[in-house]
């Protein structure tokens, strides 16, 4: 309710400003149809996240099936055909339907809030992006009713050509790439337009939250990488169905062309997966260390550096193909270079904890666990970048371990951290910290148990993507340990899902800012209203909420009174 006298007083002092007068405020829509027609970035964010959760569980169950098959030598639990289909679906699901869209989901919900915007630049296009993603997922999983694809998530030619993979599953895979890719590209344009144009007053590039920085770079990478992939899979579609021979060596095509084009997308894709995870680490660590992020500019610059170099390393996935030494050396050195900005980030995170006052919240634990795990993946990456060493390690379980340490270590840990950190904002309720801690420790132990031993399996000569191995190979113990670890990991995810469902109704009411956090999403109510903010504050630093809290303390005199030692009495 406006105070009339105040208006008059204000009007006397300042020139009147144009105002929008609302005659009629429509009630926010509820019910299930509101989810179908919504263009609210927060609802779309929740749609993304809920869909991702379903695919994460499906992809996880697929992983368990693979681990059961490999748990003992000469196992007949899965046929070779089923095994190939399941690992193809597992990889494809986790990459295209879980990790890429999970960041689209969190960014949808939080990026506009963090920059003080009322929605994204193109809300309807935003809804379209989500539906394209969902239809892409459905296109892939519809193939369960005929024949799922079985040429791996990399779909190397000639194996994925019609002659060797005659089923329509490969087409389902191509359509999935097209639909989710279109959704991602349009979503990325939307994010870029929003971040460039709709930041709160005062939020220059140097005051933008680091998560928003990573989402900006993620969006640019999506535009560069996924457009290229769209062209690549179209060539495969034409080869398979319309008589072209881009990849057929007997007709003058090249089987290596696919690998180059695929990895030209595939390696930037790795950074599409992990950069927003790095953004999460950079947001959550300072909040719970109660200390500003160490080296803000270095971290932002490292993000851009990683993205740039990430475009120049693709052929390190192809060190064992026929290539000249000069090319091998180039890609080895460019891959080495990426380690530098990545290392800079890790050092800055450690320095952020240093001399802070660290609160062991679940979100922080997942961040630290993620960094510790990712470090291992980064270091094994150096082994793989040295091409003669890669000749031994390539396409073995060492590589499987490496990319799970990076993709899972960064992305999945960060995903869990983001869930525990932002759940109160999205629902207005807290998740259980104690259940969360149990889930975290099982997650960490389960992960290490599953993947650490896979380095050894790879060194011992176990190739990827084999549905069985003989007893004589001696890989039985290693694989059994890995399988047990996978079940521990799955159990920990189950605990978090239970925590999530319980907390929706029974969690403690959170209030607008339960963590005393730094960024603008905590300035509004939990959950935020449809248009986020009534007033967008002027931003004066990377930590606007800290500034606002300080200002309120100063204005209310709380701090001054506290320092005088007099009892605090309410006025």
Partner 1 sequence: VPPLPDKRGRRRALAGAVAVALLGALVFAPSAWAGWFLPESGGSPNADAIRTMYILIAVLALIVFVGVEGLLIWSLLRYRARKGRVAAQIHGNTQLEIGWTVGAFLLLIFITVFTFVLLPDVKNPAASEIDENGNPVAANVRYAQTNRPGPPAGSASMNITVVGEQYVWSYSYPGEEDVLTYTDMYVPVGMTITLDIQSKDVAHSWWIPKLGGKADAVPGYTNKSWFQIPLDAIPEGEDRVVFDGQCAELCGRNHADMLGRVIGLRYDDWRAWYERKAEEIQEARDEAAQQREELQAEEPR
**Restricting to residues 231-260, which ones interact with partner 1 according to CB under 8 A?**
249-250, 254-256
- In the range 453-492, which residues lie near partner 1 by CB under 8 A? 456, 459-461, 463-469, 473-474
Residue 395 or 553: the one with the smaller Cβ distance to partner 1 is: 395
CB half-sphere exposure, 246, CA atoms < 13 A: 21
281 and 371 Cβ atoms separated by less than 8 Å: yes
Give the integer Cα–Cα distance in Å for 467 and 76. 9
Q: List the one residue from 15, 30, 297, 566 that touches partner 1 (CB under 8 A).
A: 297
Closest distance of CB 515 from partner 1, Å: 13
* Residue 304 touches partner 1, criterion: CB under 8 A: no
Whole-number Å distance between alpha carbons of 51 and 132: 12
Exactly one of 10, 61, 138, 379 binds partner 1 (CB under 8 A); that residue is 379
Is residue 356 close enough to count as binding partner 1 by CB under 8 A?
yes
Residue 390 CA to residue 41 CA, distance in Å, equals 44
Choosing from 5, 325, 555, 564, the residue that interacts with partner 1 (CB under 8 A) is: 325
Q: Which of residues 118-157 bind partner 1 (CB under 8 A)?
A: 150-152, 156-157
Choosing from 51, 180, 303, 396, the residue that interacts with partner 1 (CB under 8 A) is 396
User: Considering the rule CB under 8 A, would residue 389 count as an interface residue with partner 1?
Assistant: yes
Residue (121 or 457) nearer to partner 1, CB: 457
Strand partners, 463: 396
DSSP states of 228-288: HHHHHHHHHHHHHHS---SS-GGGT--HHHHHHHHHHHHHHHHHHHHHHHHHHHHHHHHHH
The answer to the question of residue 355 lying near partner 1 (CB under 8 A) is: yes
Q: Is 80 in the site for partner 1 (CB under 8 A)?
A: yes
Least distance (Å) between residue 296 CB and partner 1: 7
How distant is the alpha carbon of residue 339 from its chain centre? 20
Give the nearest distance from C-beta 564 to partner 1 in angstroms: 19
Residue 357 as a binder of partner 1 (CB under 8 A): the answer is yes
- Going residue by residue from 152 to 181, which x/- string records binding to partner 1, judged by CB under 8 A? x---xxxx----x-----------------
Angle among Cα 20, 526, 417 to the nearest 5 degrees reads 130
Does position 339 interact with partner 1 (CB under 8 A)? The reply is yes
Biggest alpha carbon distance in the chain? 91
Q: How many C-beta atoms surround the C-beta of residue 424 within 10 A? A: 24
Q: Which residues touch 366 (CB under 8 Å, ≥6 apart)?
A: 413, 414, 416, 417, 420, 440, 443
- In whole angstroms, the minimum distance from the beta carbon of 211 to partner 1 comes to 18
Measured at the alpha carbon of residue 42, what is the angle toward residues 41 and 43, in degrees to the nearest 5?
A: 95
Q: Does 54 bind partner 1 (CB under 8 A)?
A: no
């Amino acid at each position: 309710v406006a105070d009339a006298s105040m208006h008059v007083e204000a009007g006397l002092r300042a020139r009147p400003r144009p105002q929008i007068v609302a005659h009629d405020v429509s009630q926010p829509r509820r019910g299930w149809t509101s989810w179908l027609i919504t263009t609210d970035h927060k609802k779309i964010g929740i749609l993304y996240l809920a869909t991702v959760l379903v695919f994460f569980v499906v992809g996880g169950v697929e992983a368990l099936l693979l681990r059961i098959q490999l748990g003992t030598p000469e196992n007949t639990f899965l046929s070779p055909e089923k095994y190939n289909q399941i690992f193809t679906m597992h990889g494809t699901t986790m990459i295209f339907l879980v990790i890429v869209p999970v960041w689209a989901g969190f960014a949808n919900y939080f990026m506009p809030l963090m920059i003080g915007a009322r929605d994204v630049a193109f809300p309807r296009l935003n809804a379209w992006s989500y539906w394209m993603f969902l239809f892409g997922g459905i296109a892939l999983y519809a193939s369960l009713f005929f024949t799922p694809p079985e040429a791996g998530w990399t779909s190397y030619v000639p194996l994925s050509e019609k002659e060797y993979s005659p089923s329509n599953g490969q087409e389902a895979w191509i359509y999935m790439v097209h639909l989710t890719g279109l959704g991602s590209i349009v979503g990325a344009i939307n994010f870029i337009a929003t971040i460039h144009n709709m930041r709160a007053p005062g939020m220059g590039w140097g005051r933008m939250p680091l998560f928003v920085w990573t989402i900006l770079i993620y969006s640019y990478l999506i535009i560069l990488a996924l457009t290229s992939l769209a062209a690549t899979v179209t060539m495969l579609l034409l080869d398979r169905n319309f008589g072209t021979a881009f990849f057929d060596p007997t007709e003058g095509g090249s089987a290596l062309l696919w690998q180059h084009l695929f990895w030209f997308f595939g390696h930037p894709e790795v950074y599409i997966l992990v950069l927003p995870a790095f953004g999460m680490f950079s947001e959550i660590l300072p909040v719970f260390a109660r200390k500003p992020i160490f080296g803000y500019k270095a971290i932002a610059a490292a993000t851009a550096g990683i993205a740039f170099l990430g475009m120049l390393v693709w052929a390190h996935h192809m060190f064992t193909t026929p290539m000249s030494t000069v090319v091998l050396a180039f890609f080895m050195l460019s891959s080495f270079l990426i380690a530098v900005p990545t290392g800079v980030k890790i050092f800055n995170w450690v320095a952020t904890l240093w001399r802070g006052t660290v609160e062991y919240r679940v979100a922080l634990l997942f961040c630290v666990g993620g960094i510790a795990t990712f470090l291992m993946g980064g270091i094994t990456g150096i082994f793989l970048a040295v091409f003669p060493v890669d000749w031994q390690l390539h396409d073995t379980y060492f590589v499987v371990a490496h990319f799970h340490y990076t993709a899972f270590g960064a992305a999945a840990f960060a995903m869990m951290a983001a869930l525990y950190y932002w759940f109160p904002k999205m629902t207005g309720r807290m998740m259980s910290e104690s259940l969360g801690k149990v889930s975290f420790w099982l997650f960490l132990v389960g992960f290490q148990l599953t993947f650490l031993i896979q380095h050894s399996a790879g060194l011992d000569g176990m190739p990827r993507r084999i549905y069985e191995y003989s007893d004589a190979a001696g890989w039985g113990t290693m694989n059994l340990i890995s399988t047990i670890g996978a079940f521990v990991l799955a159990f920990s995810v189950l605990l978090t899902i239970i925590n999530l469902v319980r907390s929706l109704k029974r969690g403690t009411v959170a209030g607008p800012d339960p963590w005393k956090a730094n960024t603008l999403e905590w300035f509004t109510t939990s959950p935020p209203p449809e248009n986020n903010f009534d007033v967008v504050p002027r931003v004066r630093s990377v930590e606007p909420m800290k500034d606002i809290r300080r200002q309120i303390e100063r204005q209310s005199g709380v701090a001054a009174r506290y320092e005088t030692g007099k009892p605090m009495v309410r006025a």
